Amino acid sequence: MGHDNDPNLSGTDKIILAISMTFLVILAIFVIGGGFVFGFAGLFQLFSVNYESKSALIYYVMLLIPLTLLFEVATFFVLLRVIILLKKRWAILATTAATKYLFSWIPLYVTDEIISTMTVPLHTELVAALLLCLLDSIFYKKR
């Protein structure tokens, strides 16, 4: 007890395992980030949004992801406070949908304002927020 010696793994095996797991996590982050970059590139192509370089698009997504995560947490706490005040199911559903939509749009707007090398029109931001809400509801649907 208290020893970290595993009879099945040597020190070299543990190092290889740690490095492999690190690369696996980095690969997952790049795949998810790449999906967002190519997704937004396609959306911007559909809505004829011009950006100066591909690095501007990458910066846009790199700033958007943490802002979105921050606003996801804010959405959770706002809904936690508001939902308990509502009694009717339709009011709960409408408030939840509107709050999630609003808190999906705000990071898109803030990111657009911060990144000066690209300008995203309001209607494109609203469509992107709708798509993000739909993806969120599809992937996190309660079973």
pLDDT at 6: 60
| Cβ atoms 79, 96 nearer than 8 A | yes
pLDDT at 126: 92
Mean pLDDT of the residues in the chain: 86
Place of tokens 């199911």: 89
As a whole number of angstroms, the distance between CA 120 and CA 122 comes to 7
Q: Per-residue b/e over 45-83, b at no fewer than 16 CB within 10 Å?
A: eeeebebeeeeebbbbbebbbebbeebeeebeebbeeee
pLDDT at 1: 47
pLDDT at 9: 74
**Which ranges of the chain have pLDDT less than 50?**
1-2, 143
pTM for this entry: 0.75
pLDDT at 43: 85
